[in-house]
Amino acid sequence: MVKNRLIVSFNGQEGSGKSTIAALVAEKMGIPRYYMGQLFRDMAKEHGLTLPEFRKICDQDPSFDKKVDDYVTALPDKHESFVIESRTAWHFIPQSIKIYLQVEPEAAAERIFKGLDGKNNRGNEDTNLNTAENIRKSIIKRRLEDNERYFALYGIRQDEIKNYDFIIDTTNLTIAEVFEKVITFINEKSA
């Protein structure tokens, strides 16, 4: 259980394990976890769109990003401690412990492909994700699109390592190994 204020923000490449690690950290620390990807999925569903369709709209209409940004920036006023998984929380919550998970695109694509079983596609609804190679291409394309959007909106580059307190390459690590390294860093940083 956390005794002092603790905010941990996670970002990372698709397939790096950030959702799994963020959930494990929140559980271990006994604090809530907020997942902004789900907020976008919920907004897409509210508009009757698939996530890829909704992303295209977001590229043209920054009001959706603004809604998420407002939600993220309000969290520290509402909660003493929490874990947040977001592409931009490191920017909007600068007092957070900022963690970035990297992974080689090929390994990421394999992980995601193995995880797609019809009920675990997290709302992607992208029919082109039928091979690991197509997933790899999709990961790279989406990352470039997101980077362009965040630079246009905020003048930030989400993948620059200088934005984070801790960067870990998960390519050749197990979930347990990544979790151990991350939780050790958080405990040292928050001591």
115-120 contact pairs (CB < 8 A, 24+): none
In degrees and rounded to multiples of 5, residue 14 shows phi and psi of: -55, 135
26-32 contact pairs (CB < 8 A, 24+): 26/82, 26/83, 28/183, 29/1, 29/2, 29/81, 29/83, 29/186, 30/1, 30/2, 31/2, 31/6, 31/81, 31/82, 31/83, 32/79, 32/82, 32/83
Quote the DSSP letter at residue 13: -
| Closest CA relative to residue 52, chosen from 129, 116, 110 | 129
pLDDT digits (tens, 9 = 90+) for 75-105: 999 999 999 999 999 999 999 999 999 999 9
Q: Per-residue pLDDT averaged across 17-28, rounded?
A: 96
pLDDT, mean over the chain: 88
Positive or negative, the Cα torsion across 186, 66, 59, 42?
positive
pTM of the predicted model, to two decimals?
0.86
Give the pLDDT score at 80.
93
pLDDT digits (tens, 9 = 90+) for 140-157: 888 888 888 889 889 999
Q: Per-residue pLDDT averaged across 38-60, rounded?
A: 85
176 membership: H or E segment, kind and range: helix 175-190
User: How many helices and strands in the chain, by DSSP H and E?
Assistant: 8, 5
Give the pLDDT score at 3.
61
54 burial (CB, 10 Å; 0-12 / 13-18 / 19+) is buried
- Please give the structure tokens belonging to residue 133: 């190679």
The strand pair at 33-35 and 166-169 is best described as unpaired
- Provide, rounded to the nearest whole percent, the portion of the chain with pLDDT above 70: 92
Amino acid identity of residue 121, one-letter, is N
CB 137 within 8 A of CB 131: no
Structural domains in the chain, sorted by start:
7-183 (3.40.50.300)
- Find tokens 């695109």 and name the residue: 105
For residue 169, pLDDT beyond 50? yes
Number of other CB atoms surrounding residue 173 within 10 Å: 16
